[in-house]
Structure formats: structure tokens, C-alpha cells
Structure 1
Amino acid sequence: MMNQEHVSDSMSEERETLVFVVSEQDAKERIDKYITESIEEEVSRSQVQLWIKDGHVLVNGSAIKPNYKCAAGDTVALIMPEPEGVDIVPEDIPLDVYYEDADVIVINKPRGMVVHPAPGHASGTVVNALMHHCKDLSGINGELRPGIVHRIDKDTSGLLMAAKNDRAHVSLAEQLKEHSVLRKYVAVVHGNLQHEQGTIDAPIGRNEHDRKMYTVTERNSKHAVTHFKVLERFGDATLVELQLETGRTHQIRVHMKFIGHPLVGDPMYSRVTKSLKMEGQALHAKLLGFKHPSTGELVQFEAPIPEDMEHLLMTLRNR
């Protein structure tokens, strides 16, 4: 299992560097295969080999060849190259805008919509829509992710904020880092939770058997805290409110699976049942609060549960 970190690259402030530490289990694996399976983006092994040949991959600070065999403890750095000929086209995609001014825009993202362009999702993203809707967006995250301060998963619906200038971006990113942004979700989970409310304080890291997934682990992990409160019980399912204290990848999905109550419809962390079906996980980012970058005023927004989740809840209530 490896540890992934995001660090700035001195070669370019806009270039992202991913850092991994090779585990005993991954020792002797070819570096191109290791990287292909390690990064979240869907890239081909041949693309990774080109990155290695172009010097974008360093092992323990040195360039290597694509057939290099990993050793336990190796520090692998992937300096993400700027895509050649990037041309993100603004698209006239309707946005459910909850708030907008010169600094920030808050939207209610529908389930199934990707936040920013990535391999396999070059169009139809939140970024494509924002570029059509907004005159300006912050450039801190580069041309693939203009304005994007934080993300929610493709199959999670709900509130998302984006920055319209770099000053606002810095302010919002700092609030996220300090865990002062208020983020509450609602979810339908399998089973009947034993407690009315509680806190899950369990570190999250990559799954050593499947690097696309995350799990609760003490090895190469990051501190993660999720608070939950039961809203409604249905016997074999429960509607819960969840508040994030930290914001790790797949945090709610991993934490709820960890306590034995995975999200209904979750394609990665849950079981499939005939009685409880949804396209994507039953998870909605319902509340978002933060200090306005310019005024310092606390602003807060709430989005109702979407129709697909309401339909699921109606089915549960009428059984």
C-alpha cells in the first residue's frame, strides 16, 4: 500500500505533484504498472510510460526507466505534465445557482455530473458549465480546474462552491484547510444504526488490494472525522445526517462502510440489493457554510434532497 500526497512543484506553480511510498506488497512491481494503478485519474499504461520517458516520474529523486522494479520504501514522485493543447470549451449547461457575486458562486450539482474535466470526461462537467456562466474564474488550480476549490463525487449531489478570483480562492481553500467550512450531508445507509448519533474518528488511506478505493487503516493514512445523526429509521435502512470535520476522498462512504452501514447505491463500497436501488450512492451535500472572502460574513446555504433520493425515501416509508 502506498501513501499519496499533493505537493507544489517548483517548476510551475500550476503543476501538481503526486507522491507515493511503495509498500512491501508492491515491491518488485514495474513502476509503470504501479503508477497506473495508483492515481485516481484514468490513464493508460502507455501514457504513464511516456511520462516516465519524458522525466515526469522520479524515484527517490532520480529519473528511471519504464521497466524499473519498485522497492519497498521507494518514494515515487509523479509531476503531472500540463496537457498539450488543452481546450476546455464553455458549454451552455444549466446550473442550479444558489448564490453568486464577484468572488464566489455556489451551485447545487446534480448526481452524475463530474466536477472538472478528466480522462473520459472531457465535456459536460461543472467546469464547462461555469466557464459559460461566469466571466471570470480563479486560475490557481490551472486550466483544467478553474475556480474549483473542493469537489464532491460524480454520483453525489449537492452544494459546491467555486472561486471567481485568486484572492477568494485562497480564502476558501484556507477555510477548508482549517476545517472551518460547515458541510452537512444526508444519506440513506443500509441497516439500522445502533446509536442516535456519534462520531467516527478513523484514519483513511488507500486500499492495499485496490488502489482506486480507500479504507480505514493506520498505514499511510490521514486523520478523518465524520459526525452522524439519525434522522429516520426504516428497519433495514436509515436516513442519517453527516457532518464532515475533515474532507478526505470518499470519507463518508468509507466511514459508513467501516461501521457496517454502507451507503445505498454505492457502486464501490456497498452491496447490491433488489429492494434498495439507486443510480449512484444515496448521498447529498445539503448544507454549505463559510466566511465570505471579502466581507468575512458567515454565509450558509441549504439544498433540498433531490428527487431520486426522495423517491427512495418514499419507497422505504410505504413498504
Structure 2
Amino acid sequence: MSKGNKQHRTGDKKLANSLVYTVKERTELLSFLLESMPNRSRNSVKSILTRGQVTVNDHIETKHNYTLHPGQTVTILKNKAAVKESALIGMSILYEDDDIIVINKEAGLLSIATEKEKRQTAHHQLMEHVRREDPQNRIFVVHRLDKDTSGVMMFAKSEHVKRKLQDNWKEMVKERTYAALVEGKVTKEKGYVSSWLRESSTHLVYSSQTKNDGQHAITHYKVVRSNEDFSLLDVQLETGRKNQIRVHMQDMGHPVVGDKKYGSKKNAIRRLGLHAKVLSFNHPTTGQLLLFKADVPKSFLTKSK
């Protein structure tokens, strides 16, 4: 390793399918990667970034000029691992059977395709995953997580199972808990927010206290830990509306960290402070109660100490 490299990173490790580096001084991501992989061309390094093979701490990062800070961990999924049949980028499978797949999604990965991005999504990768067994296999979206929200997410393997889950969601889902890192000290130990949500033409969801003025939404919260600057909350959804937690945290005067769209002034963890940590439901076919957890990101815990 050259002296230039040593200035930027320390404690480098080689894992079976990835390279892990610790950032030592402030720099931009592309520059860091070029120094970390001196044997690769600039275009090769750029394509590794574009394909979503690079994570910073606990989120996928594709921006070339993303600013790295001392102490952050940069993980690069090796090319061979990325093209291997079994490799999933930005997600891992927690559970799979003939009816459902449950994943742990990283922040930065789209749940489903958009006009701009068709392939680098959880849905597309899982579709490829099940079609290796049988080209006729398919994956169906049951619910969604925002691109910048991490955590537990479920997909169905048939239209029938998807319908059953969606039509009986309130009865079948027993727990859906999020970890939310919000700005400021939440003084009330627990409580709830109730309002009617509407979406503007610019796709901004807003709250109304006028009865039936939109979709009714109820969010319960409990403070896990807090300091003067940040609070870590356990948030449970009684209803599952678009951007519900984000809007209700703004209503409380404690927007989700990094959520500029809904009132956040700080981006202390350089990602959205929202993570789906528990999903518990009755299996759509067997009726068995299943529970899945995804660890709360370390950055949420550090900031709320």
C-alpha cells in the first residue's frame, strides 16, 4: 500500500466477497476508491460505484463526489461476487419458502422500479433469483419501503399469496416496528399521532386534522433513548400510509434525521434515520406466526447515546 493510501484509510480487511476499509481523513468517495484499487482503471471503478457495489457504513452509495469522513467504513463487493448467481447487492434474504421471501434491505436500494431505474431494485434482483430455479417463477410486491429506508421487507411468490396478504394485511400482520432517529429531545415518553394524510401534485404528503380529509393514519411511538440533539424512537404503525412516519414525526416537531423533504435541518448520519426493524405476521398459507428482525443501524444508536 502506498503512503497516499495510508493517509486515507486504516484497518483494511479482506473478506471472502468484499474489501472493507476504514476512512482516516475527509475525502471524496471516487478518489478514495481509486486509491484503494490502484490496479483498476477509472472507468472500472466508476462502474463498480454505479452498480451499487459500494456501501458506506450501512447504506449503498453511488455518488462519485460523496464526502467521506474519518471513522466511516467503506465496503466494496468484489466483481466476481457481484456477478455470481447468488450475489444480491444491497440486500440479504432472511427467509424463503414456496410462498414468500423476506429480505433485509439496505438504505439506498429501491424496492421496485422507477422510470429512471429498472434493474438495481430489490424486486428485480429477487425476480432473477427465483428464475434461476424456474424461468416461470415470479415475485410480487406486497408492501414497500422508501429507497432510503432500510430493514425488513416481504415479497410474495404468487399473485394469490400477494392478494391474500394485501387483502388481510391488518389481520395478518401482528407487529410492524420501525426505529426512527429524529431531531431534538422527545420529552413525552410515549404517545401517538393521528391525522388524515393527503398527497399534493408534487408528491408531498401532508397532514390534516379535518376528519375524512384524506386517508386516516395513526402512528404510535415510544422513546428508546435520547439526548439534547437526537431521540431514538420505536415506532409502530396502526395504518400503513405513504410517508406516514416521516409526516407524523414532522407534525410532532421532531423530523426524521436526514429527511429534508419533511422538515429535517440536519443530516448527521448521511442517510434517512428510518429502519424497519421488526415484521411479524401469520404465514399466508400455514397460518404460523413468523417474526423477523433487522438490527438497528449503529449510527442510530451512536447519535442517540
Normalising by structure 2, we get a TM-score of 0.65
Are 1:251 and 2:239 counterparts?
no
Q: Matched residue of 2:295: which SS?
A: coil
Aligned-partner residue type, residue 311 of structure 1: S
Aligned-partner residue type, residue 146 of structure 2: D
Matched residues, percent identical?
37
- Cα deviation for residue 283 of structure 1 reads 0.4
Out of 196, 216, 225, the residue aligned to residue 203 of structure 1 is: 196
Matches within 5 A, 1:1-319: 93-94=88-89, 95-135=91-131, 146-178=139-171, 180-207=173-200, 211-217=202-208, 218=210, 220-273=213-266, 276-306=267-297, 310-317=298-305
**Could you list the per-position Cα deviations for residues 41-97 of structure 1 after superposition, in whole angstroms to 9, with x for gaps in the alignment?**
xxxxxxxxxxxxxxxxxxxxxxxxxxxxxxxxxxxxxxxxxxxxxxxxx99534411
Extract unaligned runs of 5+ from structure 1.
Answer: 1-89, 138-142
Q: Matched residue of 2:250: which SS?
A: helix
- Cα deviation for residue 312 of structure 1 reads 4.7
Verify the 8 A CA contact 1:136 1:165 in the aligned structure 2: no
Q: Matched residue of 2:182: which SS?
A: strand
Aligned-partner residue type, residue 231 of structure 1: V
Aligned-partner residue type, residue 221 of structure 2: F
Give the CA RMSD over aligned residues: 2.4
Say if 1:315 and 1:202 are closer, same or farther in 2 by CA, change over 3 A.
closer
**Could you list the per-position Cα deviations for residues 276-306 of structure 1 after superposition, in whole angstroms to 9, with x for gaps in the alignment?**
5233310000000111011111111111013
Q: Spell out structure 1 runs of 4+ moving beyond 3 A.
A: 177-181
CA distance in 2, matches of 1:179, 1:200: 23
Say if 1:214 and 1:223 are closer, same or farther in 2 by CA, change over 3 A.
same
Verify the 8 A CA contact 2:191 2:220 in the aligned structure 1: yes
Q: What is the aligned length?
A: 215
Verify the 8 A CA contact 1:225 1:245 in the aligned structure 2: yes
Normalising by structure 1, we get a TM-score of 0.62
Say if 1:119 and 1:279 are closer, same or farther in 2 by CA, change over 3 A.
farther
**Could you list the per-position Cα deviations for residues 1-37 of structure 1 after superposition, in whole angstroms to 9, with x for gaps in the alignment?**
xxxxxxxxxxxxxxxxxxxxxxxxxxxxxxxxxxxxx
Determine which structure has the larger strand proportion and give its number.
2
Which range moves more in the overlay, 212-221 or 174-183?
Answer: 174-183
Q: Matched residue of 1:167: which SS?
A: helix
CA distance in 1, matches of 2:272, 2:231: 14
Q: Matched residue of 2:88: which SS?
A: coil
**Could you list the per-position Cα deviations for residues 122-170 of structure 1 after superposition, in whole angstroms to 9, with x for gaps in the alignment?**
2200111101211399xxxxx9x94101001000000000001122212
Determine which structure has the larger helix proportion and give its number.
2
CA distance in 2, matches of 1:267, 1:100: 35
Extract unaligned runs of 5+ from structure 2.
Answer: 1-84
Q: Matched residue of 2:177: which SS?
A: strand
Aligned-partner residue type, residue 161 of structure 2: A
Verify the 8 A CA contact 1:265 1:282 in the aligned structure 2: yes
Corresponding position of 2:21: none
